[in-house]
Amino acid sequence: MQLTVNGTTHTIDVEEDMPLLWVLRDELGLTGPKYGCGISQCGACTVHIDGEAVRSCSIAAADVWGSVTTIEGLGTPDALHAVQAAWVEHQVAQCGYCQSGQIMAAAALLTDTPDPNDAEIDDAMSANLCRCGTYPRIRAAVKTAAAKLRGT
Amino acid sequence: MSRLGKIARRSFLIGSVAVAGGVAFGTYSYRKPVENPLLQDLPDGHAAITPYVRIDATGITLITPRADLGQGAYSVQAALIAEELDVTLDQIRVDPGPPSPAYYNGKVAAEGFPLAATDDGFLARNGRAFGDVVAKLMGLQITGGSSTVADAFDKLRMAGAVARETLILAASQQSGVPRSRLTTRDGAVILPDGGTLSYVSLAPVAAGLDPVTDVTLRDPADWRYLGKAMQRLDIVAKSTGTQAYGIDMQLDGMVHATVRTNPRMGGEMRGYDARAAEKMRGVIKIVPIIGGAGVIADNTWRAFAAADAIDFDWGPAPYPATSDGMWEEVGASFTRDRRDSRFRNDGDVDAALKDAKMIEAEYRIPYLAHAPLEPMTATVLLKDGRLDIWTATQIPRFMEQAAADLTGLDVADIHLHVLAAGGSFGRRLEDDYVRQTIELAMAMEGTPVKMTWRREEDMTHDFPRTLQISRARGAVRDGKVAALDLKIAALSTTASQTARLNQPVPGPDVAIVAGAWDQPFAIPDYRVSGYRVPAMVPVSSWRSVGASGNGFLHDGFLDELIHAAGADPLAERIRLCWHAPSRKVLKAVGEMSDWGSDPGPDRGRGVAFTLSFGVPVAEVVEVTNTPDGIRIDKVFVAAEVGRVIDPVNFENQVMGGVIWGLGHAMNCELTYDDGLPEQTNFDAYEGMRLYQTPEIIVRGLENTGTVRGIGEPPVPPAAPALANAIFAATGQRIRELPLNKHIDFV
Ligand code: FES
Ligand code: FES
């Protein structure tokens, strides 16, 4: 099976039904996507497939239809993506465990909807749980990132 | 050195005690300085000036022994040291340091004694000092009880100051310039001619000196970091997926594992059939462990799948099999026999209630799981008589001892590496998951084993917050609250938890009544009694511990009495409150929320107050009763913390605490059937989501001067403020959590 992740194509030998999350974490060593629930309820495992936000715990490796981007492929500490820069500026993270998924969800939202209103932010971000309760700062950071990406 | 200097030096590591005047209980063993763990095996050219600062050729490392569970503890601890040491935050690294009695936490044990934080009398002071003694003798190195900042505020600043003055002494010896003409800045000693000697270059000299301990702490007016917003040291890593948590551990040759034990906690495992599991792809070994079995595989998902395929024969639960049976047991606990405490007994409640029109109510709150988003996980390697553990924990010292007991190794051969935690909320005060991983590693000598719990294993083995019932009676007179008699029945969190740590604490359990008996209200006839329910599901500390539920039980019923008296909920609380800093908190939240103004149609405002961990917090919640259910619009929070160390982190902790309190109050509970918790994942245990999150407006008050932590105190008033607001908006008084059993939320 072939899988393109963050621009690199890997040949992997796994069961067809192994969830993408565990391919990424245990086969490819990409630990940015996190395991929280395994049943599409928390969003900690969110990655992009062809730019769309997907819960990697709940998609089988064989069903991945396009190229995968994980938080590691979005930006790095030396070259932050605008969403990550906004997350740093607003000091969103507490334990930080949910934040890879939150950032990937926000980045996908802003690609589709560059100027989201509050309801659109609520819709796109409410599938991601944060047990630490960083939601107010997530809201603010999404708006900052949106403004920055629009160049305003 | 003067006598004063000697005392300061001896008691240096316990600075907060010296400041708090713990001298009344001073004994030799108490005063004996604890050994400095960094002085053992210190290579040449290294100077370990205090257990909190390490300087070597590679730079300056600050030791931050309190775990960072997401509350920013590493950054706060580093800032406290850096402020006095005079280094910039980009010049330093932080390291949780090795487990050591030198890092004991004097503030945690203090919370175990029945002394109201408002009581400044002799007994209270001595009791708190006694807590310090106990913690020191036990060598507790615990993160909990919102104690990190309170414990560290003096201790770490003093550590930084001692290091600074010793480096100045070293510079003076090296340069021949008298100490009085030397200053420091940004990690260097400044010579009168403007030349600099870096701390790193001075470290070898400083290593040979006795630490200078007659130091003066800086005037807060001169602070560079404290009191100001700082960028958290881990914020970039946590925004780029590069922060390594326990679950992210990777080692050469590492294998993946998971375990299963009886989901009826404490029930036995009678046997299992793993024949099908053994044949599954990637399975390396199936290992029996205490109470269950573990699967070792080449991938976590394969380990999960194989564990699912094991056919276990579990014994029954050692507690009532259903929630109904448990509630019955709690309800039957209001007896003389089971009475555990009566720390408050003002006036004569029985007499006051005899002739009055009595108001009565029963309240209930459920078991709650901690469920941090990162499930329990640990990585362990047993090799050549040495055991290495990589995990996130709040109890490193206990964990080392448990590892030694389990393996038969010497504690010196146990090496614990503390990693970042994906949340905890009290869960990592337990070490069960680490002991299980050690058992697996013992079966895989020479190979590192990473064990990860499935979420379902995590939820069913959570050591939840206790369920509780309260029975309250009260009376009002002349438009005022006149009498309040509150009885609370709960499992003993302290007994359950300390038994597992092999540190049983005798006597009444303050946790049963914390946040209720110790409230600063001058109700003329006022009694709070605790009743201890016999052990059922093992329970543990959950963010804000006893106060987490008692805030609802106490303040909810107080709100009922105030309404019965026809008084204003805020004004009557202020009238009843005798503690000036608490009164200010209530007044502040009134002003912030424009209390008394018309909230508008279908809207209601509720106020609640709880003092916990020495921090008075008042919250006002505003709700709208929409056709789709209750919407929480706004929350106003005022908290007295003595001093806000970092305003951004402070606000984050308060918002997080409020969301934690509201989310669980809305929709979370663990119920049991057939001995099993019925909620095993976040589909049935949601908490608050972003679309439900209100605007939260926070104010920190700094009137007492006593520094307090804020991780837990915002939790207890959140649930009653919400229930009181729902009553104001709908007239429906809900006396049971979660509230969604009785009303819908948007
Ligand atoms: S782990 Fe995928 S949604 Fe929770
Ligand atoms: S920051 Fe901890 S779960 Fe979101």
The label of the residue with tokens 């209930």 reads: B364
DSSP string over B477-531: ETTEEEEEEEEEEEE-HHHHHHHHTT----S--GGGTTTTTT--B--SEEEEEEE
Domain boundary among A13, A41, A72: A72
Would you call A80 and B239 a contact, using CB atoms and an 8 Å cutoff?
Answer: yes
DSSP string over B120-187: -SHHHHHHHHHHHHHHHHHT-----TT-HHHHHHHHHHHHHHHHHHHHHHHHHHHH---GGG-EEETT
Rounded CA separation A136/A96 (Å): 15
**Residue to probe by mutation, ligand 1, list A40, A130, A131, most atoms within 8 Å of CB:** A40
Q: Which residue of A has its CA nearest to B242?
A: A32
Would you call B423 and A132 a contact, using CB atoms and an 8 Å cutoff?
Answer: yes
Residue A62 sits in the same domain as residue A122: no
Least confident segment among B498-512, B514-528, B606-620: B498-512
Would you call B373 and A130 a contact, using CB atoms and an 8 Å cutoff?
Answer: yes
Residue B55 has pLDDT above 70, yes or no: yes
The answer to whether residue B601 is domain-embedded is yes
Q: Give B718's DSSP letter.
A: H
Q: Which of B236, B238, B745 to probe by mutation at the A interface, max A CB count within 10 Å?
A: B238
The answer to whether residue B457 is domain-embedded is no
Mean pLDDT of the B179-184 span: 94
Q: In one letter, which amino acid is B506?
A: P
Residue A53 sits in the same domain as residue A80: no
Give the CA angle between residues A81, A85, A86 to the nearest 5°. 120
Atom of ligand 2 nearest to the CA of B238: 1
Establish if A77 touches chain B: CB-CB under 8 angstroms.
Answer: yes
**Residue to probe by mutation, ligand 2, list B232, B239, B243, B373, most atoms within 8 Å of CB:** B373
**CA separation (Å) from B111 to B69, B134, B333, B502, B745?**
20, 12, 25, 19, 36
Q: What is the pLDDT of residue B58?
A: 74
Residue B16 sits in the same domain as residue B158: yes
Question: Considering chain B, what is the average pLDDT of its residues?
Answer: 86
Q: B634 vs B704, which has greater pLDDT?
A: B634
Rounded CA separation B445/B456 (Å): 28
Atom of ligand 1 nearest to the CA of A37: 4
Residue B71 sits in the same domain as residue B210: yes
Q: Separation of B396 CA from ligand 1 center, angstroms?
A: 29
Residue B553 sits in the same domain as residue B436: no
Residue A18 sits in the same domain as residue A62: yes
Phi then psi dihedrals of residue B711, to 5 deg? -65, -30
To the nearest whole Å, the CA of A152 is away from the closest chain B CA by 23
Q: What is the pLDDT of residue B101?
A: 54
Q: What is the pLDDT of residue B40?
A: 47
A 10 A CB-CB count for B335 gives: 9
| CATH number assigned to the domain comprising residue B183 | 3.30.365.10
Domain boundary among B238, B262, B287: B238
Q: What percent of chain B clears pLDDT 70, i.e. is strictly above it?
A: 85
Domain boundary among A49, A72, A95: A72
Residue B110 has pLDDT above 60, yes or no: no
- The 3-state secondary structure of B584-608 reads HHHHHHHHHHCCCCCCCCCEEEEEE
Residue A87 sits in the same domain as residue A140: yes
Residue B521, SS3 per DSSP: strand
Atom of ligand 1 nearest to the CA of A43: 3
The answer to whether residue B254 is domain-embedded is yes
Rounded CA separation B54/B58 (Å): 10
Q: Separation of B71 CA from ligand 2 center, angstroms?
A: 10
Q: What is the pLDDT of residue B16?
A: 22
Q: Separation of A142 CA from ligand 2 center, angstroms?
A: 16
- The 3-state secondary structure of B538-586 reads CCCCCCCHHHHHHHHHHHHHHHHHHHHHCCCHHHHHHHHECCHHHHHHH
Q: What is the pLDDT of residue B89?
A: 84
The answer to whether residue B589 is domain-embedded is yes
Residue among B498, B424, B418, B435 nearest B100 (CA): B418
Residue B350 sits in the same domain as residue B229: no
Residue B89, SS3 per DSSP: helix
**CA separation (Å) from B704 to B218, B236, B353, B640?**
19, 34, 36, 8
**Total domains in the fold of chain B:** 3
Domain boundary among B213, B238, B263: B238
Q: Give A27's DSSP letter.
A: I
Q: Residue B470: enclosing H or E segment and its boundaries?
A: strand B468-477
**Residue to probe by mutation, ligand 1, list A26, A41, A48, A125, most atoms within 8 Å of CB:** A41
Q: Residue A53: enclosing H or E segment and its boundaries?
A: strand A52-55
Residue A12 sits in the same domain as residue A57: yes
Which ligand minimizes its atom distance to the CA of B71? 2
What would the pLDDT profile of A49-92 be if each residue is shown by its tens digit? 999 999 999 999 999 999 999 999 999 999 999 999 999 999 99
The answer to whether residue B192 is domain-embedded is yes
Residue B41 has pLDDT above 60, yes or no: no
The answer to whether residue B422 is domain-embedded is yes
**Total domains in the fold of chain A:** 2
Structural domain for A94, as ranges: 74-150
Would you call A97 and B235 a contact, using CB atoms and an 8 Å cutoff?
Answer: no
Rounded CA separation B306/B317 (Å): 24
Domain boundary among A13, A45, A72: A72
- pTM for the full model? 0.90
Residue B339 sits in the same domain as residue B419: no
Establish if A46 touches chain B: CB-CB under 8 angstroms.
Answer: no
Q: In one letter, which amino acid is B583?
A: R
Residue B477 sits in the same domain as residue B357: yes
Q: Which residue of A has its CA nearest to B420?
A: A95
| Contact residues, chain B, for A97 at CB < 8 Å | 70, 245, 372-374, 422-423
| Contact residues, chain A, for B687 at CB < 8 Å | 129, 131
Which ligand minimizes its atom distance to the CA of B372? 2
How far apart, in Å, do the first and last CA atoms of chain B sit?
Answer: 68
Residue B713 has pLDDT above 50, yes or no: yes
Residue B229 sits in the same domain as residue B354: no
For residue B78, count CB atoms less than 10 angstroms from its CB and return exposed for 0-12, middle for 13-18, buried for 19 or more: buried
Residue B304 sits in the same domain as residue B329: no
Q: What is the pLDDT of residue B132?
A: 46
Residue nearest atom 4 of ligand 2, based on CA coordinates: A130
Give the one of B239, B455, B696 whose C-beta lies nearest to A99's C-beta.
Answer: B239
Rounded CA separation B156/B233 (Å): 17
The label of the residue with tokens 């104690």 reads: B147
The label of the residue with tokens 């503890």 reads: B73
Domain boundary among B238, B254, B276: B238
Residue A80 sits in the same domain as residue A145: yes
Q: Which residue of B has its CA nearest to A122?
A: B691
Are B402 and B501 spatial neighbours (Cβ–Cβ below 8 Å)?
no
The tens-digit pLDDT sequence of chain A (152 residues) is 999 999 999 999 999 999 999 999 999 999 999 999 999 999 999 999 999 999 999 999 999 999 999 999 999 999 999 999 999 999 999 999 999 999 999 999 999 999 999 999 999 999 999 999 999 999 999 999 999 999 87
Identify the band that residue B485 occupies on the pLDDT scale cut at 50, 70 and 90.
very high
Residue B436 sits in the same domain as residue B567: no
Structural domain for B689, as ranges: 323-369+463-741
Q: Give A56's DSSP letter.
A: G
Rounded CA separation B162/B5 (Å): 12
Residue B195 has pLDDT above 50, yes or no: yes
Would you call B373 and A97 a contact, using CB atoms and an 8 Å cutoff?
Answer: yes
- A vs B, Cβ pairs < 8 A, gives 191
Would you call A131 and B371 a contact, using CB atoms and an 8 Å cutoff?
Answer: yes
Q: Give B67's DSSP letter.
A: -
To the nearest whole Å, the CA of B10 is away from the closest chain A CA by 37
| CATH number assigned to the domain comprising residue A19 | 3.10.20.30
Residue B3 has pLDDT above 60, yes or no: no
Is the bond leading into A33 cis (omega within 30 degrees of zero)?
no
| Contact residues, chain B, for A14 at CB < 8 Å | 299
What would the pLDDT profile of B425-479 be if each residue is shown by its tens digit? 999 989 999 999 999 999 999 999 999 999 999 999 999 999 999 999 999 999 9
Give the CA angle between residues B648, B652, B656 to the nearest 5°. 175
Give the CA angle between residues A98, A104, A105 to the nearest 5°. 85
Residue B109 has pLDDT above 60, yes or no: no
Would you call B373 and A137 a contact, using CB atoms and an 8 Å cutoff?
Answer: no
Q: Residue B697: enclosing H or E segment and its boundaries?
A: strand B695-701
